[in-house]
Structure 1
Amino acid sequence: MTIVIENSFSEQRPFEVQAPVEQIVPFVFNSPHSGRHYPGDFIASSRLDAHTIRVSEDYFVDELFGSAPFYGAPLLVAHFPRAFLDVNREPYELDPTMFEGSLPHYINTNSVRVAGGLGTIPRLVAENLEIYHTPMPIEDALDRIESLYRPYHDCLRNLIVSTHAAFGACVLVDCHSMPAHAQSGSRNRPDFVIGDRFGTSASGAVSQSAIALLKDLGYTVARNKPYAGGFITEHYGRPRRGLHALQIEINRGLYVDEQTFQKNAGFDRLQADLACFIGRLTAEFCQQPDSVALAAE
């Protein structure tokens, strides 16, 4: 997989909605971390080379879920990279040590994610690798948020609102990938992790349905450990209002070489299985709207 270096996002749309011919299911799929279009000045400002800076990407996740429109659901895809801007954070989770100039009073400098170097403008990529040579002007960070983060969330919110208005419910599936092994050792992770913020972002029926379908396909599945869901699932999931948000993490060892970032022999099978998963999940949800979609737990 080749990195794409852009002069700016005027040449490449920063994100896109892959829309079905007609939306026929109350689902929205979202791939916020699979972008691989890197601004040239961003690469120049980084102490990391063009290969290493990609270690936090959700490689090919947009392709793995690319069948969603075929089943009647929109898929929102970010083209900007997570290392440049992370939309799975609050809009202003910023580390003050990264910037020159005075930070506005509304900046959240004390979150756990900021402390870990993984704020809205990340300080680190995976494996604790520092991204930048020198501090950046705070105006540059705020510009990224206003020009990319806010339009992205406006788009996602509009998809959710219109889906809920049309169907009376909406399930947001936030699509991600995870390293095959924990950083602390060689212990294998499960094939999938379904995150629902410990039952607060989606009804238990929705989560259990997703887990059961993946297990039926032969995969190992965990719930909420080690990933319970990020800002997107927390912010948009309101199950008592029929707004369900699930985060799905895929073990990268199933489909990609984590050293070269190239697809491995398992990619095609996984892509086909996820198409089956999407088809069965959306059909099951639609067949039981009262007990699943609109359940108030």
Structure 2
Amino acid sequence: MSSSPFEIVEPAAQCSPFVFNSPHSGTAYPRSFLNSSRLDSSSIRRSEDTFVDELFAGVVELGAPLMRAHFPRAFLDVNREPYELDPAMFSGRLPAYVNARSIRVAGGLGTIARVVADSEEIYRDRLPVAEGLDRIERIYKPYHAALRDRLAETMANFGVAVLVDCHSMPSTARGLENRPRPDLIIGDRFGTSCAPGLADTAIALLSDLGYHVGRNRPYAGGYITEHYGRPQSGLHALQIEVNRGLYMDEQRFRKTAGFDALAQDLALFAERLMALALYSGAVADAAE
């Protein structure tokens, strides 16, 4: 793994109250983790938001920080509660405070996932409880502490903050291969994680760029969007899902010819969103 499990790429000066986050784009797989997995080197990557941090890298030049994970989602998922854990995965007793009954745990996609995105089991054997808890202490908690501090700093400087949580989705849903997904999906937890005008503006801007944009279905936003989004307090959180078919070969994990054009469009989208969100009234009330 990289010397640091995550980083915040800072602009020369933060020019707007926006913070971008890519929690699932990490590709640094610990050797011990790979040795414990029953999956090959390609299958283990199916939960990645491959290249998403690169797609949104242009926001840094626009004056917004970009936080990105180096660790992979299959190893640890920071877009979950800190202790969404499946007891069946571990040898030994989990602490009583663990949330073992969430829908995400039932689906095998808790804080420490049991399966990759296409439901293939990750591990050969059960994990020691101490190992699972160590990942949370060593990576999960510092990640959220850093994100929380960066948002607090933004709030202090601008009086308002907007978190854009960046993700990708497979081009088709399993069993629905004949029904392609939208190009992008904006998630605002059904109107609860940010001012409605912010999501409206994001959808309008992407649509104006020629993209087919969905809202909240099937991705309304995960733990990060729900946990940090407190629009009544001036902290807005928005999730954006990008269709992988637009920019990568999903089987070979390689960029396609569409990558550069999409990255340019997303930079243009971010520039316009950051300009309009404050001055169109999307988050202006909180900023005043």
| TM-score band w.r.t. shorter chain | over 0.9
- Whole-Å separation in 1 of the counterparts to 2:237 and 2:38: 36
Matched residues in 2 for 1:63 and 1:70: separation? 13
Q: Given the alignment, which residue of 113, 137, 144 partners 2:104? A: 113
Please say if 1:146 is aligned against 2:137.
yes
| 3-state SS, counterpart of residue 145 of structure 1 | helix
CA distance in 2, matches of 1:22, 1:47: 45
| 8 Å Cα contact 1:196-1:228 kept in structure 2 | yes
Alignment partner of 1:12 out of 3, 11, 20: 3
Residue correspondences, number: 285
Choose the corresponding residue for 1:293, options 264, 283, 287: 283
Q: Is the 8 A contact 1:236 1:245 kept in 2?
A: yes
**Per-residue Cα deviation, 1:73-108 (whole angstroms, up to 9, x for no partner):** 100000000000000000000000000111101000
**Which amino acid is the alignment partner of residue 196 of structure 1?**
D
Aligned residues of 1:64 and 1:274 also touching (Cα < 8 A): yes
Is there any run of 5+ residues in structure 1 with no aligned partner, and where?
A: 1-5
1:39 matched to 2:39: no
| Identity percentage of aligned residues | 61
The SS at the match of 1:211 is helix
Q: Contact 2:277/2:284 (CA < 8 Å) preserved in 1?
A: no
SS class of match (2:12) = coil
CA displacement at 1:266 relative to structure 2: 0.5
* 2:278 and 2:284 in contact (8 A); partners too: no
Conservation of the 8 A alpha-carbon contact between 2:201 and 2:282? no
Q: Is the 8 A contact 1:240 1:294 kept in 2?
A: no
Cα distance per residue 1:30-68 (max 9 Å; x no partner): 000000000000000000011110011001000000011
Which of residues 254, 258, 264 is equivalent to 1:262? 254
**1:205 maps to 2:197:** yes
Deviation at 1:218, TM superposition (A): 0.3
* Structure 1 pair 294–106 and aligned structure 2 pair: CA distance change class (3 A): farther
Take 2:21 and 2:129, find their aligned partners in 1: how far apart are those partners?
A: 28
Gaps of 5+ in 2: none
Tell me the CA shift for residue 185 of structure 1.
Answer: 1.6
How far apart, in 1, do the equivalents of 2:282 and 2:43 lie?
Answer: 43
Q: Which moved more, 1:237-246 or 1:81-90?
A: 237-246
Alignment of 1:38-187 (within 5 A): 38-186=29-177, 187=179
Deviation at 1:287, TM superposition (A): 2.4
1:271 aligns with 2:258: no
Alpha-carbon RMSD across the aligned residues, in angstroms, is 0.9
1:239-261 Cα shifts (integer Å, max 9, x gaps): 11111100000000000011101
Partners of 2:84 and 2:251 lie apart in 1 by 30
Q: Hey, what does 1:196 align to over in structure 2? A: 188
Amino acid at match of 2:138: S
CA deviation profile, 1:208-231 (whole Å, cap 9, x unmatched): 000000001000001101100000
In 2, Cα distance between the equivalents of 1:188 and 1:179? 9
- How far residue 12 of structure 1 moved from its aligned partner, in angstroms, is 2.4
Report the AA paired with residue 293 of structure 1: V
Aligned-partner Cα distance in 1 for 2:189–2:278: 23
Contact 1:18 1:75 in 2 (8 A): yes
Partner of 1:3: none
* TM superposition outliers: structure 1 runs of 4+ over 6 Å: none
Q: Distance in 2 between matches of 1:219 and 1:273?
A: 10
* Residue deviations 1:99-140 (CA, integer Å, cap 9, x gap): 011110100000000000000000000111000000010000
Instruction: Kindly provide the amino acid, as one letter, of the partner of residue 158 in structure 1.
Output: D
**TM-score, normalization: structure 2?**
0.97
- Decide whether the 8 Å contact of 1:94 with 1:120 is kept in 2: yes
Q: Give the AA of the match of 1:213.
A: L
The structural deviation recorded for 1:294 is 4.0
For residues 129-166 of structure 1, the C-alpha deviation after alignment (integer angstroms, 9 at most, x for no partner) is: 00000001000000000000000000000111111111
CA deviation vs aligned residue, 1:1-29 (integer Å, no higher than 9, x gap)? xxxxx4xxxx5210000000111100000
Secondary structure (helix, strand or coil) at the match of 1:94 reads: coil
Task: Specify the SS of the correspondent of 1:128.
Answer: coil
1:12 & 1:132 partners in 2: Cα distance? Answer: 25
Report the AA paired with residue 272 of structure 2: R
